[in-house]
Amino acid sequence: MDLDEDILRAAKDLAEERSQSLGRVLSELARKGLQPFPQPLDARNGVPLLPRKPGARPVTSQTVKDLLESD
């Protein structure tokens, strides 16, 4: 197996953090990467719309403006 150094380092770090073997971590990551997306995202004007939780308020441009001004 030929892995890029940055990928190998990240996987080793993750394995150490989780107290798992490198092989187990790589297998889990590969499985996740190979899973199809559960459903395609809707798009508006070519921009994907992210799903929101039921009951959550939508993020509007005014919400963003207010947050930016609060800093």
pTM of the model: 0.52
Query: pLDDT by residue (tens digit) across 9-45?
Result: 999 999 999 999 999 999 999 999 999 877 777 899 9
Backbone φ and ψ of 14, nearest 5°: -65, -40
16-49 residues labelled b (16+ CB within 10 A) or e (exposed)? eeeeeeeeebbeeeeeeeeeeeeeeeeeeeeeee
Confidence at residue 39, expressed as pLDDT on a 0 to 100 scale = 75
58 within 8 A of 52, measured Cβ to Cβ: yes
